[in-house]
Amino acid sequence: MHRRIVTSSTFRQRAGADTTVRTRDPDNRWLARGPRIPLAAETVRDNALAIAGLLDRRIGGPS
């Protein structure tokens, strides 16, 4: 499995934004590039729950 992941074309892509991408989409409306900072686990969890329609938006209470 590891070999398959690290030899994939997706894994080998550069992380930096190309000048062509910046020229074509300067405001990143098409989400051609992502943030360079990792997301906190809580943010990932909340996003997954929100997409699934399971996020309780009330403040406080059980997590």
- Contact (Cβ atoms closer than 8 angstroms) between residue 7 and residue 19: no
* 2 alpha carbon, distance to own chain's centre: 21
pTM assigned to the model? 0.43
Distances (CA, A) of 63 to 18, 20, 34: 40, 43, 28
In tens, the pLDDT along 13-61 reads 877 778 888 899 899 888 888 777 888 999 999 999 999 999 988 888 6
What's the pLDDT at 62? 66
Residue 25 and residue 38: Cα distance in Å, rounded?
Answer: 22
Residue 14 and residue 36: Cα distance in Å, rounded?
Answer: 12
Residue with tokens 């900072």: 37
pLDDT at 63 over 70: no
What's the pLDDT at 41? 94
